[in-house]
A and B are shown apart, each in its own frame.
Chain A
Amino acid sequence: MPRVVVDVMLKPEILDPQGQAVANALPRLGVNDVASVRIGRRIEIDFTGEPDLDRAREIADKLLANPVIEDFTVRLVETDETVDAHS
């Protein structure tokens, strides 16, 4: 059964101090070619029946993201794909 994935990111104009802190730590790993890092959140939703993208968008808009500071995208992925991503 496909799974719904919601990606939530801070809007580009909102400062991301966490991302900055990570970017600032990279030179300590010897990484010097990263211009910026921004941190978001990935949410995986499994519906009991067929995945409902419209319903997922509603969930994202009302709860998962705060539209004042965040943008979100909603997409379908095959469950295998998410398993691979974790391995």
Chain B
Amino acid sequence: MTARVGVVTFPGSLDDGDAARAVRIAGAEPVRLWHGDPQLYGVDAVVLPGGFSYGDYLRCGAIARFAPVMETIVDAARGGMPLLGICNGFQILCEAHLLPGALTRNQHLHFRNRDQILRVESVDTAWTNAFQPGQEVLIPVKNGEGCYVADPATLDQLEAEGRVVARYLGGNPNGSQRDIGAITNQAGNVVGIMPHPEHAVEALTGPSLDGLGFFTSVLKHLVGAPA
């Protein structure tokens, strides 16, 4: 049976279309979810896409966290459902306390939009099991508030538990502490990533096809997971 992967649209989401397309190219059925509707329609996993939910008012992701759909998603993720937050989605995951730390204004204050090399460091998550440990991938980064910060004890804990999923190589685009570009929760089902794997799934539009691995990973994970 084809896996069903939900993609949430918030007011101000930009990359929900690309995320749904990436899910389809990876071989799953994308299911569009609406921020105001708490129903998940039986999806097996969820992607929170990039963009500017609720206009980034107050703080990026601060208001999206209270969307009706988020309550259901947070409960499902605590129960083990795979959940990927990309860019604004990563910010929402931090605001929802599913991931530690916070994402702040890029240190140099400039919006950064470029193709970025990442080193995948944790391949034990639901979203990165298709990669080799240490594999370098090229995917676009585009953010204004992507500087990952957390207190030193949290950073040490993330490192000690192998929860730094990916680090920036060849230049840190936003000043993130310890070059962190992606992290996961303790269970490995929730991943937040600042660059955009959904923009690197087709030769026509992406700098590589490396982003596809994040979406094929979750399919692999779902096949192995108990129903």
Contacts and interface: CB of A to CB of B under 8 A. Distances in A.
A17 B105 contact: yes
Contacts of B58: 63-64
Interface residues on A, range: 10 to 19
Contact of B104 (A21, A64, A69): A69
Residue from A14, A15, A66 whose CB has the most chain B CB atoms within 10 Å: A66
Interface residues of B, number: 19
Interface in A1-56: 14-15, 17-18, 21
A18 B149 CA distance: 16
A15 B109 CA distance: 12
Secondary structure type dominating chain B contacts: loop
B220 interface: no
A10 B105 CA distance: 12
A85 interface: no
A83 interface: no
Contact of A18 (B94, B105, B175): B105
A44 to B, nearest CB: 14
Contacts of A66: 59, 62, 95, 102
A22 to B, nearest CB: 11
A69 B94 CA distance: 11
B107 A15 contact: yes
Contacts of A68: 94, 100-102, 149-150
Nearest to A43: B58
B108 A17 contact: yes
B12 to A, nearest CB: 17
A14 B104 contact: yes
Which residue of A18, A63, A64, A68 has the most chain B CB atoms within 10 A of its CB atom? A68
A64 B107 CA distance: 22
Contacts of B149: 14, 68-69
Given A15-B175, A68-B150, 11 more contacts: A14-B104, A15-B107, A17-B107, A63-B58, A63-B63, A66-B59, A66-B95, A68-B94, A68-B101, A69-B102, A69-B149
23 contacts: A14-B104, A15-B104, A15-B107, A15-B175, A17-B105, A17-B107, A17-B108, A18-B105, A18-B109, A21-B109, A63-B58, A63-B62, A63-B63, A63-B66, A64-B58, A66-B59, A66-B95, A66-B102, A68-B100, A68-B149, A68-B150, A69-B102, A69-B149
Interface of B: 58-59, 62-63, 66, 94-95, 100-102, 104-109, 149-150, 175
Shortest beta-carbon contacts, A-B, top 6: A68-B102, A69-B102, A17-B109, A17-B107, A17-B105, A66-B102
